[in-house]
Chain A
Amino acid sequence: DTEVTQTPKHLVMGMTNKKSLKCEQHMGHRAMYWYKQKAKKPPELMFVYSYEKLSINESVPSRFSPECPNSSLLNLHLHALQPEDSALYLCASSPHASGAYNEQFFGPGTRLTVL
């Protein structure tokens, strides 16, 4: 298995809803990442998990709550989102926790719409 999978593919939620995004990789990668991408913009890093521990939080609002239950799975819990949070949410993983030649492999993303 050489890919990163994300579910759901599309998600529409109201501002009072609680929902979760799921990301999975079975490549034995040591680091996993959440990115947010708005239309016509590059991906922006949100969180980094290294060896299942949160290592970097890029000042993301608390309405986004990441979780790494095991080395293959990464969740992003969403609560009380705003319409401006609508975006493509991308998950990525890399073989190592740091260093060169540590390419990140991306999933297909979840298209989130907040009404």
Chain B
Amino acid sequence: DQQVKQNSPSLSVQEGRISILNCDYTNSMFDYFLWYKKYPAEGPTFLISISSIKDKNEDGRFTVFLNKSAKHLSLHIVPSQPGDSAVYFCAASYVHLIRNAGNMLTFGGGTRLMVKP
């Protein structure tokens, strides 16, 4: 049972335009959401996060929107640049029942973004 889903395996966007990556989740206990960017043969790089008490968080060209009622979040990249081409993972976590047990991240399947010059 996939608790975090990214339904678009790939997305192609022209340089300078907006990239919108989507993510859906099913577990109501998730209260913190993150986006990671991954290049081949490298570890994921943290991009931006949002707590469930907010509906928007912005950092430079990256904005994450959260719609709790729809259990949906999205990452907007404006303007898109060729260097943004990578696989983007959405991840979700909740406070574990065991205190101080760490944050367990559940990842979506990833979306490969290709930004064309």
Contact = CB atoms under 8 A, between A and B. Distances in A.
Q: Do A and B come from one complex?
A: yes
Interface of A: 4, 6, 31, 33, 40-45, 48-51, 55-56, 88, 90-92, 94, 97-109, 111
B43 A107 contact: yes
B12 to A, nearest CB: 18
Contacts of A105: 46
Given A42-B110, A56-B96, A100-B31, A31 B45 contact: no
Contacts of B43: 4, 6, 90-92, 106-109
Given A4-B43, A103-B49, A106-B45, A56 B107 contact: no
Contacts of A99: 95, 103
Given A42-B109, A99-B95, A100-B32, A55 B101 contact: yes
Interface in B24-57: 31-32, 34, 36, 41-46, 49, 51
Contacts, number: 86
Nearest to A6: B43
Contacts of A48: 101-102, 104
Contacts of A33: 102
B100 A101 contact: no
A52 B103 CA distance: 15
